[in-house]
Protein backbone atom coordinates (compact mmCIF):
# COMPACT_ATOMS: atom_id res chain seq x y z
CA UNK A 1 0.00 0.00 0.00
CA UNK A 2 1.46 3.37 -1.01
CA UNK A 3 1.37 6.03 1.70
CA UNK A 4 -0.57 9.31 1.61
CA UNK A 5 2.79 11.14 1.64
CA UNK A 6 4.00 9.27 -1.48
CA UNK A 7 0.77 10.13 -3.34
CA UNK A 8 1.13 13.75 -2.21
CA UNK A 9 4.71 13.82 -3.57
CA UNK A 10 3.55 12.31 -6.88
CA UNK A 11 0.74 14.90 -7.02
CA UNK A 12 3.09 17.85 -6.53
CA UNK A 13 5.71 16.51 -9.00
CA UNK A 14 2.82 16.19 -11.46
CA UNK A 15 1.75 19.80 -11.11
CA UNK A 16 5.36 21.02 -11.41
CA UNK A 17 5.71 19.04 -14.68
CA UNK A 18 2.44 20.43 -16.04
CA UNK A 19 3.44 24.01 -15.28
CA UNK A 20 6.93 23.46 -16.79
CA UNK A 21 5.46 21.88 -19.94
CA UNK A 22 2.74 24.48 -20.47
CA UNK A 23 5.13 27.30 -19.57
CA UNK A 24 7.62 26.04 -22.16
CA UNK A 25 4.97 25.85 -24.89
CA UNK A 26 3.55 29.29 -24.06
CA UNK A 27 6.85 31.17 -23.79
CA UNK A 28 8.05 29.69 -27.08
CA UNK A 29 4.95 31.00 -28.85
CA UNK A 30 5.27 34.44 -27.17
CA UNK A 31 8.99 34.58 -28.07
CA UNK A 32 8.56 34.01 -31.71
CA UNK A 33 6.05 31.69 -33.24
CA UNK A 34 6.53 28.07 -34.22
CA UNK A 35 9.08 25.94 -32.42
CA UNK A 36 12.22 25.15 -34.36
CA UNK A 37 13.55 22.59 -31.89
CA UNK A 38 11.68 19.31 -32.16
CA UNK A 39 13.36 18.23 -28.91
CA UNK A 40 11.98 21.24 -27.00
CA UNK A 41 8.51 20.77 -28.48
CA UNK A 42 8.44 17.07 -27.62
CA UNK A 43 9.85 17.62 -24.11
CA UNK A 44 7.23 20.27 -23.31
CA UNK A 45 4.47 17.92 -24.55
CA UNK A 46 5.94 14.96 -22.61
CA UNK A 47 6.23 17.00 -19.40
CA UNK A 48 2.62 18.10 -19.79
CA UNK A 49 1.29 14.62 -20.54
CA UNK A 50 3.22 12.91 -17.74
CA UNK A 51 2.30 15.71 -15.31
CA UNK A 52 -1.41 15.47 -16.10
CA UNK A 53 -1.27 11.71 -15.42
CA UNK A 54 0.73 12.08 -12.16
CA UNK A 55 -1.65 14.76 -10.80
CA UNK A 56 -4.49 12.31 -11.29
CA UNK A 57 -2.59 9.30 -9.88
CA UNK A 58 -1.46 11.24 -6.79
CA UNK A 59 -4.83 12.97 -6.37
CA UNK A 60 -6.90 9.80 -6.44
CA UNK A 61 -4.37 8.03 -4.24
CA UNK A 62 -4.76 10.75 -1.63
CA UNK A 63 -8.55 10.67 -1.99
CA UNK A 64 -8.42 6.97 -1.16
CA UNK A 65 -6.18 7.57 1.86
CA UNK A 66 -8.62 10.29 3.00
CA UNK A 67 -11.41 7.70 2.82
CA UNK A 68 -13.08 9.29 -0.21
CA UNK A 69 -13.32 5.94 -1.99
CA UNK A 70 -15.64 4.70 -4.78
CA UNK A 71 -19.32 5.35 -4.06
CA UNK A 72 -18.60 8.24 -1.69
CA UNK A 73 -19.83 11.49 -3.27
CA UNK A 74 -17.00 13.95 -3.96
CA UNK A 75 -17.01 17.12 -1.86
CA UNK A 76 -17.19 20.40 -3.80
CA UNK A 77 -13.46 21.12 -3.45
CA UNK A 78 -12.59 17.92 -5.37
CA UNK A 79 -15.00 18.83 -8.22
CA UNK A 80 -13.37 22.26 -8.51
CA UNK A 81 -9.89 20.69 -8.62
CA UNK A 82 -11.05 18.21 -11.25
CA UNK A 83 -12.27 21.17 -13.33
CA UNK A 84 -8.89 22.89 -12.95
CA UNK A 85 -7.20 19.61 -13.94
CA UNK A 86 -9.37 19.41 -17.08
CA UNK A 87 -8.56 23.02 -17.97
CA UNK A 88 -4.80 22.39 -17.61
CA UNK A 89 -5.13 19.22 -19.71
CA UNK A 90 -6.91 21.01 -22.59
CA UNK A 91 -4.76 24.14 -22.33
CA UNK A 92 -1.93 22.36 -24.20
CA UNK A 93 -4.01 22.48 -27.39
CA UNK A 94 -4.20 26.29 -27.37
CA UNK A 95 -0.82 28.08 -27.68
CA UNK A 96 0.29 26.65 -31.06
CA UNK A 97 -3.18 26.68 -32.61
CA UNK A 98 -4.26 30.07 -31.22
CA UNK A 99 -1.08 32.08 -30.48
CA UNK A 100 -3.21 34.99 -29.19
CA UNK A 101 -4.13 32.84 -26.18
CA UNK A 102 -0.48 32.47 -25.11
CA UNK A 103 -0.14 35.64 -23.03
CA UNK A 104 -3.48 35.33 -21.14
CA UNK A 105 -2.70 31.62 -20.55
CA UNK A 106 0.67 32.50 -19.03
CA UNK A 107 -1.10 34.80 -16.54
CA UNK A 108 -3.81 32.20 -15.91
CA UNK A 109 -1.43 29.33 -14.96
CA UNK A 110 -0.42 30.57 -11.47
CA UNK A 111 -4.05 31.60 -10.81
CA UNK A 112 -5.29 28.08 -11.66
CA UNK A 113 -2.50 26.41 -9.65
CA UNK A 114 -3.07 28.68 -6.66
CA UNK A 115 -6.84 28.16 -6.81
CA UNK A 116 -6.43 24.36 -6.86
CA UNK A 117 -4.00 24.54 -3.93
CA UNK A 118 -6.41 26.81 -2.03
CA UNK A 119 -9.22 24.30 -2.58
CA UNK A 120 -7.05 21.44 -1.29
CA UNK A 121 -5.73 23.27 1.77
CA UNK A 122 -8.87 25.20 2.89
CA UNK A 123 -11.60 22.90 1.44
CA UNK A 124 -14.18 25.77 1.41
CA UNK A 125 -16.78 23.69 -0.46
Name the residues that contact ligand HEM, by CB under 6 A.
8, 11, 15, 55-56, 59-60, 62-63, 66, 78, 81-82, 84-85, 88, 113, 116-117, 120-121
Measured distance CA(29)–CA(25) in Å, rounded: 6
Q: How many helices (H) and strands (E) does the chain have?
A: 4, 0
Measured distance CA(91)–CA(85) in Å, rounded: 10
Q: How far is the CB of 43 from ligand HEM (least distance, A)?
A: 20
Measured distance CA(42)–CA(57) in Å, rounded: 22
Contact assessment for residue 24 and residue 44, using Cβ atoms and an 8 Å cutoff: yes
- Ranked by CB distance to ligand HEM, the top (closest) residue is 59
Q: How far is the CB of 8 from ligand HEM (least distance, A)?
A: 5
Amino acid sequence: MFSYQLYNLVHIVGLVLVMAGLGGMIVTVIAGGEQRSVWARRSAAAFHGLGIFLILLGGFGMLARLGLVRGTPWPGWVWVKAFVWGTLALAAFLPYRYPKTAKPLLLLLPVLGGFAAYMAIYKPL
